[in-house]
Amino acid sequence: MPVYFVDSSALVKRYINEIGSAWVLNLFNPALNSEILIAAITSVEIVAAITRRMRSGNTSETEARYVCNLFKNDLISEYQVVEITENIINSAMGLAETYKLRGYDAVQLAAGYAVNALCAANSLPSVIFVSADNEWNTAAVSEGLIVENPNNYS
């Protein structure tokens, strides 16, 4: 069973059709039996991304409301949510400083890194990090993590 830590730049592709959406949708194929983990802050970022599209005129209010509700329902049943702890915040500060990351990107990376460390400590397979953010991906690779960018798949 593959375990994926998916950041908001990738997960939004499940709800908004863009480059890489088909690849992200495939992660949810029941035959793969994938485990999908997200940081708690991802929920805020997804709702914000959807409503920003409405504000910019790229989607209607009705569609935005529908997609937000779909995400909120999926949040209950389809994701393992990683809570943001003091240790994750401390790690995120170091990652932000080292890699010059934006705040939430550093928190995302720190949360995923913590999950990966827990897997390693329990002799479980490495987590696959999924992000469409090149800066985040560069930092994750530098930290020795396995990364997939859905933008590399049409």
Which residues does 90 contact at the CB level (< 8 Å), separation at least 6? none
Condensed to tens digits (0 to 9), the pLDDT of residues 109-151 reads: 999 999 999 999 999 899 999 999 999 999 999 999 999 999 9
What confidence category does residue 46 fall into, taking pLDDT thresholds of 50, 70 and 90? very high
Task: Decide yes or no: CATH 3.40.50 for domain 3-40+81-152.
Answer: yes
Condensed to tens digits (0 to 9), the pLDDT of residues 54-83 reads: 888 888 999 999 999 999 999 999 999 999
What residues does each domain of the chain span? 3-40+81-152
* Contact predicate 20/13, CB 8 Å: yes
Which of helix, strand or coil describes residue 118? helix
String of DSSP letters for 55-78? HTTSS-HHHHHHHHHHHHHHHHHT
What confidence category does residue 92 fall into, taking pLDDT thresholds of 50, 70 and 90? very high
Range list of β-strands (E), 59-154: 80-82, 128-130, 146-148
pTM: 0.94
Given a cut of 80, whether residue 29 has pLDDT beyond it is: yes
User: Burial of 154 by CB count in 10 Å (0-12 exposed, 13-18 middle, 19+ buried)?
Assistant: exposed
Which of helix, strand or coil describes residue 129? strand
Nearest CA among 113, 128, 133, 30 for reference residue 78:
30
